[in-house]
Amino acid sequence: MESIIRKAPESFREKPHLDNYDATIARFSWAQAEQLLDGLPNGGGLNMAHEAVDRHLQHGRGDKVAIRWLGKGGGRRELSYAELARETNRFANALQGLGVLPGERVFLLLGRLPELYLALLGALKARCVVSPLFSAFGPEPIATRAEMGDARVLVTTPELYRRKIQGLRDRLPGLRHVIVVGEAMAGEDGVHDWSALVAPASADYTIAPTDRESTSLLHFTSGTTGRPKGAVHVHAAVLAHAVTGRYALDLHENDVFWCTADPGWVTGTSYGILAPLVCGVTNVVVEAEFDAQTWYEVLQRERVSVWYTAPTAIRMMMKLGAEAVKAYRFPALRFMASVGEPLNPEAVVWGLEAFGLPFHDNWWQTETGGIMVSNYAAMDIKPGSMGRPLPGITAAVVSRNGGGGIELVTQPDVDGELALQTPWPSMMRGYLNEDERYRKCFVDGWYLTGDLVRRDGDGYYWFVGRADDVIKSAGHLIGPFEVESALLEHPAVAEAGVIGLPDPMVGEVVKAFVALKPGFQPDEALRRELLGHARKRLGAAVAPKQIDFRNSLPRTRSGKIMRRLLKARELGLPEGDLSTLESDEKK
């Protein structure tokens, strides 16, 4: 699928912030971008929560809806920027009242409840370090992260506390305070009820001077390739959130924005909380998990204008067909974006068919703190490409030479590792307790991402695969994404995961695991048809030699296919760290 999706300026409902890529790149500087922020009063430095919340009161947005929360049972709560300022002040005061000090770690383990958002922003005001976890994590992943991160405070619900925390309190001697949201639980040692502690706290709070380089967030990676790493981020990252919210997501003053990610994954914090609030838009939060129909209803009823989601969800919607989408109307929707995994060309084009808009893929990692490579509202899309680097970001394709150095690949269309020139404001400042591993990510002023890509002659980047996942077969380097995308073009295929299996003749052979769309039978005839389809699309050297059918593929809680697990299971090897595996896939 080579066709380009052209952007016609007359079709833009808002003039894109980045209307001319080359010109914007040429004039951009991070120093000038500081104008997008206010900074704390009287030269008090930079604090994420001030930029996301308090400053909007001085810009006439006090009454504007900051967060529109849609609860599981049909509940609805709106918080204006002024209310958000007051409620987060209460939480900051509550922490201070408990004697919690700046720099101490506040862990969040609660579903997408309003209190999650209040606690995160309030703790940032108090200059604590926040670490949001998936509420679906089991006790062990919670304990290891809280131990590693030296959790001092935990905000959770009574139910999660009883099921997952109570039994491991003695492993967490540093955990002094547990704040529970919901039914009262008074009496337990160090357990406070949110309603008794936070609600009566003062709604006035002055953020103390904050060093922009002080730690703000601790985010664990998705664990797709192994044991999750704790990426340390600082308050200065908020500048990247402002810039990427503006250029990559094209957020405008009147937008209603919805990021579907949970804050347990970095996307749900950087773009589910910080970027939209920093840009002063209305941020929709949906408590419920994915359900296609519910999602279409939210898009329609809330008049969402900018929507940021992920390939897994898009593929699930594709499985149900474009017709299901057409029962709804989305007159407000003007920009759709995706992140987290490669977005197959098929999915980009399906967006056009189902919603009348393409999905705009973008690329980043927990370590980069914000979007680094993106498709933009005004830039033509080459389906299957993750786009071009953000203003302020210098990207390159590099090859590692044997001696620990790197060489820049200057010619187009050559595979190599994606590297980003340091520094940029949202770059991680460390891996928690893993200095050596952190240092190894940097060579000659470049951050090496561990992802293989190629850049074409127009400067678009194409994802090839994670360095760990790339298959070497008979002298070819095969990226699983290319093979998965070809399989996805077949009408029977809903999902595909591709791995290499050791082979004495050719090094590795390509094997695919496929989940089918409803109505298709996993039989021998279809297997042969898919093998033939792939061979025709990819050539015999790259096409899979084997295909197995599965009902679903193992994925992380952030929605990524765990190819390492497909491989380990296939080869009967140890399965490694499964702390982020979605529980229904656990054997």
Number of chain residues interacting with Mg ion (CB under 5 A): 1
- Point out the residue whose Cβ comes nearest to Mg ion: 221
Residue 463 touches which of Mg ion, ligand ATP, none (Cβ within 5-8 Å per kind): ligand ATP
Distance CA 145, CA 151 (A): 8
Report the residue from 45, 149, 223, 480 that binds ligand ATP according to the rule CB under 6 A.
Answer: 223
Q: Of these, 224, 270, 312, 473, which contacts ligand ATP (CB under 6 A)?
A: 224
Show the tokens assigned to 186: 């008074």
Instruction: Check residue 469 for interaction with ligand ATP (CB under 6 A).
Output: no
Six token digits for residue 536: 């025709």
Candidates 91, 258, 463, 513; binder of ligand ATP (CB under 6 A) is 463
Cβ-in-10-Å burial (0-12, 13-18, 19+) of 103 comes to: exposed
Q: Which of residues 351-370 bind ligand ATP (CB under 6 A)?
A: 361-363, 365-366
For residues 283 and 365, which CB has a smaller minimum distance to ligand ATP in the complex? 365
Please give the residues from 214 up to 243 whose contact with Mg ion meets the rule CB under 5 A: 221
Q: Which does 54 bind (CB under 5 to 8 A by kind): ligand ATP, Mg ion, none?
A: none
Query: Residue 384: exposed, middle, or buried by beta-carbon count in 10 A (0-12, 13-18, 19+)?
Result: buried
- Nearest-angstrom CA–CA distance, 261 and 586: 22
**70: which residues sit within 8 A by CB, 6+ positions away?**
76, 284, 285, 286, 287, 288, 298, 302
Number of residues that bind ligand ATP (CB under 6 A): 25
Which lies closer to ligand ATP via its Cβ, residue 114 or residue 370? 370
**For ligand ATP, which residue of 149, 264, 276, 340 counts as binding (CB under 6 A)?**
340
Structural element, H or E, at residue 89: helix 81-97
Of 154-162, 190-198, 213-221, 564-572, which part binds Mg ion (CB under 5 A)?
213-221
As a whole number of angstroms, the distance between CA 528 and CA 517 comes to 17
**Phi, psi at 257, each rounded to 5°:** -110, 140
Smaller CB distance to ligand ATP: residue 47 or 224?
A: 224
- Distance CA(339)–CA(213), nearest Å, equals 27
Backbone angles phi, psi at 120, to 5 degrees: -60, -50
Site string for ligand ATP, 283-322 (x = CB under 6 A): ----------------------------------------
Return the residues of window 114-173 that contact ligand ATP according to CB under 6 A. Answer: none
- Scanning 52-60, 296-304, 340-348, 512-520 for contacts with ligand ATP by CB under 6 A, the matching segment is 340-348
What is the crossing angle of helices 292-301 and 311-320, to 10°?
100
* Per CB under 6 A, 542 contacts ligand ATP: no
State the binding partner of 131 from ligand ATP, Mg ion, none, CB within 5 to 8 A by kind.
Answer: none
Question: Checking DSSP bridges between strand 76-80 and strand 65-70, what pairing results, if any?
Answer: antiparallel
Q: Based on the shown chain and the rule CB under 6 A, indicate whether residue 462 belongs to the binding site for ligand ATP.
A: no
| Sign for the pseudo-dihedral over CA of 168, 169, 172, 177 | positive
What is the binding site for Mg ion (CB under 5 A)?
221
Q: Which residues bind ligand ATP (CB under 6 A)?
A: 221-226, 228-229, 339-343, 361-363, 365-366, 386, 449, 451, 463, 466, 558, 560
